[in-house]
C-alpha cells in the first residue's frame, strides 16, 4: 500500500518576531496618544493668545463702530437744528414772526433741544431785536471769532459755525455760535445767532451707555480740548479713535478713549486648563458610566413595557386597528383578529377593500375611506362588519389621528367595539318600553272607564228611546217616512257620537310600531279632545283650547304624542280635584317659538290651577316608578319625557303665577309644504 504524505505544517512565528510585533503595537499604541497630547498642549498655548488678540480686535472694531454712530447722531441733530433755524429765519423774513412772539416761538424749541444755550435775532445794523434770554445780548457780547464768522456768513449768504470760545467779559461756558444770515429780496435784513453750549452737545447727543464705557472729547484741529465727558471715568488709551466732524465753516475732532483695559492672559492658565480638563475628563467618564447604567435600565424598562403592552393588548376585548395615511393596515391586535375571524398576517399590509367589509355596505366604506385619505375621519360612527364565515355584526368605531414623537401625523388609530349585545339589549329595551307605554295607555283608559261607560250610555239610551218611538209609530200605522226621518237622524247622530268615542279609545290603546310622519298639532289635540273632556266632566273642570290652525307641522308618531297630551292633561285635571270649582280651569295652548339659533319649534303648554308641585317632589318628578298617587304607576311623566326626547324635543315645567303648574313640551317645526 502506498503511503499518503502528511500535509505540510505551516511555519510557526518565532518568539523574537512575536516580541518585535508586540513592541511595534505597543509603540503605536502610545505614539498616537502622545502626538494627540502634544497637539493639545500646542493648541492650549496658541488658543489663549489668539483669543486675546481677537478680543482686542473686536473691542477696537466695536469702539470704531460706536464712534461712527455717535458722530452720525451728532450730525443728524445739528442738521435738525439747522433746519429749525432756517424755518424761523424764513418766518422772520416773510413777516410771519414778530418781535413780541419770538421768545414764545423759540422756547418750545429750546425745551426739546437742550444743546442750545440761547438764540438771538439781530437786525441789519447789528442791534438785538429779540432773544430767548431775559436780557438780550449785543454784538459786543460775542467773541471775536463769532463776529468774524457772522461777517463771513453774511458775505457768503449761508449759515456758518464759529469756533468755540468763551464770550468776553463774563464767566460763561464755552459757546459755539451758529450764524444764519437773513435776506429779503436779496437785501440783508439781519441774522439769527444760535449759541450752542459745547459741553451740552456731548451731554445731550451722546448716549449714556456709550459715555459709561468711553471718555468722549471734542477738540479743534490743533487738539485743544473744547469739551469733555467722562461719565465712566478717564480713558486708558488702550482703545482710541479719532474722527473729524466737518461742519459749515468749522472742523471739530471727536475723540473716543475706552475705559476698558487690554485683555490679560493669566500666568497659570495652562495649569488651570489642565486641571479643569482633567476634572472634565473624570466627570465625562463618570457621566458616561452613569449614562450606560441609565441606558441599561431604560432598555430593561422598555423591554418590560413592551412585554406588558403586548400582554395588555392581547387581553383587550376592544379591537385595535392602525392604518397609515394611505389607508394600509399597519397593526391589529388579537381582539380584532378574533372579532373578524382573520389572522394578523392576513390583515397587516392590506389596502381597501378589506376582507371584513360587508358587500351591501361597500359604498359606505368607500366614502369613509375617501374621507380618511382627505384627513376628514369621523371620530365616532356605527357600521357593520362581516366575519370570515359571512356573519354580519354591528360595530362602533372610534377613529383618532396617530401622531409620532415629533407631533407629525403618521396615520389613524381605530378602536372597534362589537355592539351585538348592546343592540340586542336596545331592541329588548325598546320592546319593553313599547309594552310599558301600551300598559300606561291601558291604565289611562282604566282610570276613565267609568266615565266612558256613562258617556256611551247616554247615546245608547237615546238610540233605544228613538227606536222605541219609531216602532210605536209603525205599530200605530203611521209609517210615513217624513214622520220617521227626524227619529232616524237623531239615531244616526247618537250612533256617530258613540262610534267616535269608541274609535278614539281603540286607536289610542291598540299596539303598533312607532311611525314618524308629518302631523298637525291641532289635529293631535282634536283627536284626544273627547277623552280629555270625559275626564274633565268627571271632576267638573272647564277645558279651554287655544290651538291655531296655522301652526307648522311636526315630525312624530301620532299615537305617542297623543298619549303625552292625554297624560299631561289628566295630571292637570287630577291636580285640581281639591280646589274650589271656580278655579278648575285647564288651558291647553300651542304656539310657534324660536330658540337662540333662530330655529322654529311648536310649543304646547298645559296649564292647571291646582295644588302645584312641592320642592321635595320636584327633584324626583321625572324619576321612574315615583308617584304621589296611591294608585299611580309612577311612569307617566317619565314616559312623556322619553317620548318627547325621542322626537328631538324637550319637556319642562314651571310654576303657574296664578297657582298650579305649567307643563310645556317643544318639538322642532317642519318647513316646506305639509
pLDDT per position as a tens digit, 307-359: 777 777 776 678 888 888 888 898 888 888 888 889 888 889 888 888 888 88
3-state secondary structure of 22: helix
Read off the pLDDT band of 501 (50, 70, 90): low
Average pLDDT over residues 581-608: 90
3-state secondary structure of 238: coil
CB 518 within 8 A of CB 674: yes
Domain limits for position 341: 312-418
Specify whether 478 is located in the same domain as 623. Answer: no
529: in domain = yes
- The pLDDT value given to residue 14: 46
244: which residues sit within 8 A by CB, 6+ positions away?
Answer: 251, 252, 253, 254
- The pLDDT value given to residue 80: 92
Number of structural domains (the chain) is 4
The region of weakest confidence among 282-286, 457-461, 566-570 is 457-461
Pairing of strands 542-546, 585-594: parallel
- DSSP-assigned letters across all residues of 303-336: HHHHHHHHHHHHH-SSEEEEEETTS-EEEE-HHH
pLDDT at 239 over 50: yes
Ranked by mean pLDDT, which of 459-468, 560-569, 631-640 comes out on top? 560-569
Which of 464, 497, 513 is where one domain is finished? 513
Q: What is the pLDDT of residues 545-564, one digit of tens each?
A: 999 988 999 998 887 888 88
CB 535 within 8 A of CB 451: yes
- The pLDDT value given to residue 157: 92
Q: Mean pLDDT for the chain?
A: 79
What is the C-alpha separation between 353 and 365, in angstroms, rounded?
Answer: 8
Specify whether 379 is located in the same domain as 453. Answer: no
- The pLDDT value given to residue 632: 44
CATH at residue 117: 3.30.450.20
What is the C-alpha separation between 297 and 300, in angstroms, rounded?
Answer: 5
Q: Please give the backbone phi and psi of residue 564, each rounded to the nearest 5 degrees, phi first.
A: -60, -45
- 463 versus 517: which is more confidently predicted? 517
The number of beta carbons lying within 10 Å of the beta carbon of residue 113 is 17
- 171 versus 455: which is more confidently predicted? 171
Q: What is the pLDDT of residues 176-208, one digit of tens each?
A: 999 999 998 889 999 999 999 888 888 888 888
- The pLDDT value given to residue 489: 66
272: in domain = no
- The pLDDT value given to residue 674: 52
Ranked by mean pLDDT, which of 309-323, 362-376, 598-612 comes out on top? 598-612
Q: What is the pLDDT of residues 571-591, one digit of tens each?
A: 888 888 888 888 889 999 999
pLDDT at 51 over 60: yes
What is the C-alpha separation between 475 and 469, in angstroms, rounded?
Answer: 10
Find the helix packing angle between 420-447 and 481-509, rounded to 10°.
140
Average pLDDT over residues 229-233: 85
pLDDT at 624 over 70: no
- 560 versus 609: which is more confidently predicted? 609
Average pLDDT over residues 94-113: 87
- The pLDDT value given to residue 494: 59
Indicate the Cα dihedral angle 52, 53, 56, 60, nearest 10°: -170
CATH at residue 659: 3.30.565.10
CB 543 within 8 A of CB 533: yes
266: in domain = no
pLDDT at 278 over 50: yes
What is the C-alpha separation between 60 and 54, in angstroms, rounded?
Answer: 10
Q: Is 621 exposed, middle or buried (0-12, 13-18, 19+ CB in 10 A)?
A: middle
Which of 219, 240, 261 is where one domain is finished? 261
First-to-last C-alpha distance (Å) of the chain: 120
Specify whether 340 is located in the same domain as 414. Answer: yes
What is the C-alpha separation between 157 and 388, in angstroms, rounded?
Answer: 107
176: which residues sit within 8 A by CB, 6+ positions away?
Answer: 161, 162, 163, 164, 165, 195, 196, 198, 201, 226, 250
The region of weakest confidence among 37-41, 135-139, 620-624 is 620-624
The number of beta carbons lying within 10 Å of the beta carbon of residue 562 is 21
Read off the pLDDT band of 626 (50, 70, 90): very low
Q: What is the pLDDT of residues 505-554, one digit of tens each?
A: 555 555 455 567 899 999 888 888 877 887 788 788 899 999 998 899 99
CB environment 427-446: b (16+ within 10 A), e (fewer):
eeeeeeeeebbbebbeebbe
Specify whether 353 is located in the same domain as 463. Answer: no
- 419 versus 666: which is more confidently predicted? 666
Task: Provide the percentage of residues in the chain whose pLDDT is more than 90.
Answer: 17
52: in domain = no
Read off the pLDDT band of 442 (50, 70, 90): low
Q: What is the pLDDT of residues 1-33, one digit of tens each?
A: 444 444 443 444 444 454 455 556 556 655 665
326: in domain = yes
Read off the pLDDT band of 653 (50, 70, 90): confident
169: in domain = yes
- The pLDDT value given to residue 17: 55
480: in domain = yes
Specify whether 427 is located in the same domain as 525. Answer: no
Task: Provide the percentage of residues in the chain whose pLDDT is more than 70.
Answer: 73
Specify whether 485 is located in the same domain as 633. Answer: no
What is the C-alpha separation between 616 and 641, in angstroms, rounded?
Answer: 19
- The pLDDT value given to residue 476: 66
- The pLDDT value given to residue 567: 84
Specify whether 100 is located in the same domain as 242. Answer: yes
- 219 versus 632: which is more confidently predicted? 219
- The pLDDT value given to residue 135: 76
Average pLDDT over residues 489-512: 59
What is the C-alpha separation between 558 and 567, in angstroms, rounded?
Answer: 14
CA 16 to chain centre: 81
- The pLDDT value given to residue 178: 93
Specify whether 408 is located in the same domain as 448. Answer: no
The region of weakest confidence among 205-214, 284-293, 387-396 is 284-293
The region of weakest confidence among 36-40, 166-170, 451-455 is 451-455
559: in domain = yes
What is the C-alpha separation between 46 and 228, in angstroms, rounded?
Answer: 40
- The pLDDT value given to residue 267: 47
Specify whether 386 is located in the same domain as 467. Answer: no
Cis peptide upstream of residue 644 (ω within 30 degrees of 0): no
CATH at residue 447: 1.10.287
The region of weakest confidence among 253-257, 350-354, 615-619 is 615-619
The region of weakest confidence among 267-276, 614-623, 650-659 is 267-276
Specify whether 507 is located in the same domain as 521. Answer: no
The region of weakest confidence among 4-8, 80-84, 173-177, 610-614 is 4-8
Average pLDDT over residues 467-472: 67
Average pLDDT over residues 365-372: 80
pLDDT at 631 over 70: no
Helix (H) or strand (E) holding 651: strand 650-655
What is the C-alpha separation between 563 and 444, in angstroms, rounded?
Answer: 9
Specify whether 521 is located in the same domain as 592. Answer: yes
pLDDT at 380 over 90: no
Specify whether 504 is located in the same domain as 581. Answer: no
Amino acid at each position: 500500500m502506498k503511503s499518503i504524505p502528511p500535509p505540510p505544517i505551516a511555519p510557526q512565528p518565532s518568539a523574537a518576531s512575536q516580541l518585535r510585533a508586540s513592541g511595534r503595537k505597543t509603540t503605536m499604541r502610545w505614539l498616537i496618544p502622545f502626538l494627540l497630547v502634544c497637539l493639545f498642549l500646542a493648541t492650549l498655548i496658541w488658543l489663549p493668545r489668539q483669543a486675546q488678540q481677537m478680543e482686542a480686535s473686536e473691542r477696537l472694531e466695536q469702539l470704531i463702530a460706536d464712534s461712527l454712530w455717535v458722530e452720525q447722531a451728532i450730525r443728524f441733530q445739528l442738521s435738525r437744528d439747522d433746519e429749525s433755524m432756517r424755518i424761523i429765519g424764513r418766518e422772520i423774513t416773510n413777516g410771519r414772526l414778530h418781535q413780541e412772539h419770538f421768545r414764545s416761538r423759540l422756547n418750545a424749541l429750546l425745551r426739546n433741544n437742550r444743546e442750545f444755550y440761547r438764540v438771538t435775532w439781530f437786525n441789519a445794523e447789528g442791534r438785538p431785536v429779540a432773544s430767548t434770554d431775559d436780557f438780550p445780548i449785543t454784538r459786543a457780547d460775542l467773541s471775536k471769532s463769532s463776529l468774524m464768522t457772522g461777517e463771513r456768513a453774511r458775505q457768503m449768504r449761508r449759515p456758518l459755525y464759529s469756533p468755540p470760545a468763551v464770550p468776553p467779559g463774563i464767566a460763561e461756558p464755552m459757546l459755539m455760535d451758529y450764524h444764519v444770515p437773513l435776506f429779503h429780496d436779496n437785501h440783508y435784513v439781519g441774522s439769527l445767532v444760535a449759541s450752542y453750549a459745547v459741553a451740552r452737545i456731548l451731554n445731550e447727543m451722546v448716549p449714556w451707555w456709550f459715555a459709561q464705557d468711553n471718555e468722549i472729547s471734542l477738540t479743534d484741529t490743533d487738539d485743544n480740548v473744547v469739551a469733555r465727558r467722562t461719565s465712566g471715568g478717564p480713558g486708558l488709551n488702550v482703545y482710541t479713535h479719532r474722527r473729524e466732524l466737518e461742519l459749515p465753516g468749522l472742523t471739530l475732532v471727536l475723540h473716543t478713549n475706552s475705559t476698558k483695559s487690554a485683555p490679560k492672559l493669566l500666568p497659570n492658565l495652562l495649569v488651570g486648563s489642565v486641571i479643569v480638563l482633567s476634572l472634565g475628563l473624570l466627570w465625562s467618564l463618570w457621566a458616561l458610566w452613569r449614562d450606560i447604567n441609565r441606558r441599561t435600565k431604560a432598555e430593561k424598562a422598555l423591554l418590560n413595557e413592551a412585554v406588558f403592552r403586548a400582554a395588555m393588548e392581547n387581553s383587550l376585548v376592544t379591537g385595535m386597528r392602525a392604518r397609515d395615511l394611505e389607508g394600509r393596515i399597519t397593526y391589529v391586535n388579537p381582539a380584532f383578529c378574533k372579532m373578524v375571524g382573520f389572522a394578523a398576517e392576513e390583515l397587516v399590509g392590506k389596502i381597501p377593500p378589506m376582507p371584513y367589509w360587508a358587500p351591501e355596505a361597500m359604498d359606505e366604506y368607500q366614502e369613509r375611506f375617501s374621507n380618511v385619505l382627505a384627513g376628514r375621519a369621523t371620530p365616532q360612527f356605527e357600521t357593520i362588519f362581516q366575519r370570515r364565515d359571512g356573519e354580519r355584526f354591528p360595530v362602533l368605531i372610534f377613529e383618532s389621528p396617530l401622531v409620532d414623537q415629533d407631533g407629525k401625523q403618521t396615520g389613524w388609530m381605530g378602536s372597534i367595539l362589537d355592539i351585538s349585545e348592546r343592540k340586542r339589549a336596545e331592541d329588548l329595551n325598546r320592546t319593553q318600553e313599547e309594552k310599558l307605554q301600551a300598559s300606561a295607555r291601558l291604565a289611562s283608559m282604566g282610570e276613565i272607564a267609568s266615565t266612558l261607560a256613562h258617556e256611551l250610555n247616554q247615546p245608547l239610551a237615546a238610540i233605544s228611546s228613538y227606536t222605541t218611538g219609531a216602532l210605536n209609530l209603525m205599530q200605530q200605522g203611521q209609517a210615513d217616512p217624513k214622520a220617521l226621518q227626524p227619529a232616524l237622524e237623531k239615531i244616526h247622530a247618537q250612533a256617530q257620537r258613540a262610534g267616535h268615542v269608541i274609535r278614539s279609545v281603540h286607536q289610542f290603546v291598540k299596539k303598533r310600531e312607532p311611525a314618524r310622519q308629518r302631523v298637525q298639532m291641532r289635529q293631535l289635540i282634536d283627536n284626544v279632545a273627547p277623552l280629555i273632556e270625559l275626564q274633565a266632566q268627571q271632576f267638573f273642570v272647564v277645558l279651554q283650547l287655544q290651538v291655531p290652525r296655522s301652526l307648522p307641522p311636526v315630525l312624530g308618531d301620532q299615537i305617542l304624542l297623543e298619549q303625552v297630551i292625554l297624560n299631561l292633561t289628566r295630571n292637570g285635571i287630577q291636580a285640581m280635584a281639591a280646589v274650589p270649582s271656580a278655579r278648575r280651569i285647564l288651558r291647553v295652548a300651542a304656539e310657534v317659538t324660536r330658540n337662540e339659533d333662530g330655529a322654529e319649534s311648536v310649543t304646547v303648554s298645559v296649564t292647571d290651577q291646582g295644588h302645584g308641585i312641592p320642592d321635595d317632589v320636584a327633584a324626583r318628578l321625572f324619576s321612574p316608578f315615583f308617584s304621589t298617587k296611591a294608585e299611580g304607576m309612577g311612569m307617566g311623566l317619565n314616559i312623556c319625557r322619553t317620548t318627547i326626547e325621542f322626537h328631538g324635543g324637550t319637556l319642562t315645567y314651571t310654576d303657574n303665577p296664578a297657582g298650579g303648574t305649567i307643563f310645556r313640551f317643544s318639538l322642532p317645526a317642519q318647513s316646506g309644504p305639509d
